[in-house]
Structure 1
Amino acid sequence: MLARALEPVRDRSGTQVSVAVLEPRNGRRAVYGSQEHITASLAKVNILAALLLRAQREERSLTLWETSAAAEMIRSSDNDAANALWRRIGGGEGLTEANRILGLTSTQAGPGAHWGLTRTTAADQLALLSAVFAGPSPLSEDSRRLIQTLMGQIDADQDWGVSAAGTRWQLKNGWLQRRVSQRWAINSMGRVRAHGHTFYLVVLTHGSRSMSHGISTVERAAESAVHALRGTPLPVAPIIP
């Protein structure tokens, strides 16, 4: 079902695409693509979840500085804030420890300071979304509420990706141009409200020849995934070249 819906997207874009979608109300779930993708700034949600788990373990709230850095990292995708919080959680080791608790089994933390080179699968990021938006979860209710709030306050210039599939959304995007190939990794994940239903949605891509092409591919894949899970046809729309 999902593979058939995404076939036109894959064929027309020439981009490697992985998608995971869940309708939490009834548990309907579909995953397309098991390959690993680099997260780019998508890792920032994972970093914040790791920070909150650390604070929970220490039986404390986030400090004012941590709260401010988290807001900058998620709302504006600020890399300096992410660098600082990456160090605060203990880098890759801290992320790996948190992911064991969160149930992410196919995510490999980026080397050294390179959190954006963390590798993951669509299924793992769907597991992370479920931990953020639904209970029971290793994240406390207050921790989940903070992440949800920040993902609903993304800067206006970053309102793209899975938001194309719905009218209400909470999301985080990631984008990175690879140095050698000059191709783009474009990712998006979040909770969207579409056609009166709620969906958790992840789209990971790599190999796009431009950022705009990658965004168009992600948005088309997001719309296709929601329609596939609902069993409704998707209106024909082009992918930006």
Structure 2
Amino acid sequence: MKIDILTLFPEMFDGVMNHSILKKAQDTGAFQYRLVNFREYSQNKHKKVDDYPYGGGAGMVLTPQPVFDAVEDLSADCSEKKAKPRIVLMCPQGEPYNQSKAMELANEEHLIFICGHYEGYDERIREHIATDEISIGDYVLTGGELGAMVVIDSVVRLLPGVLGNESSAPEDSFSTGLLEHPHYTRPLDFRGMRVPDVLVSGNHGKIEEWRRLQSLKRTYQRRRDLLDDFPLTDKERQWLEDLNDE
């Protein structure tokens, strides 16, 4: 996968992109990234990329020309055989980000992220360039960089070979539609707090059943909204009814 990031502050990505899973993913060739300061594309003699909004109002707005030119330049090597890049606008008005969207983006060959600043974008950027608008939450950040880091991390870890254990990502919270079950490791007894007996029973069928029940229980207690459209077996419905009775 190729990822291009349009930002006015490329240095913000140095720590995130060069450590842990993202660094390992680059080393193995799973993805490559490029930081593009779109100020360099500005045709303004002072390299300005923002201006006052028409109609008045507080703040400055990113002008379309540098962003259009940067995206067109980064997309120029797309032939008929290559899929066009997905162009992701990081924006608080965007679609709420979730694991399903991460899995969708992980199937792409080329992603371009646009990180805004100031009061917002010229609307023509939103209407004529972006293929996706993404928000990582109902709050406003200083710029789109932090949001882009979150999305990139969640996408890259889904690429083939990035995680050491291929079953890790499919079992993560939200990947199955439920929150993940509890985990335990050594010691068996820590200060009188014991690991559940079923996990050391060696009965894999019982272990899987326990984990499924715990996922349902945790989801019911913490994110009941996730169960609204979740397909449940008769046995799982009974589990949830028992939890409700408790």
Pick the TM interval, shorter chain. under 0.3
TM-score (norm 2): 0.24
TM-score (norm 1): 0.24
The structure richer in helix per residue is 1
Higher Cα Rg, which structure: 2
The structure richer in strand per residue is 1
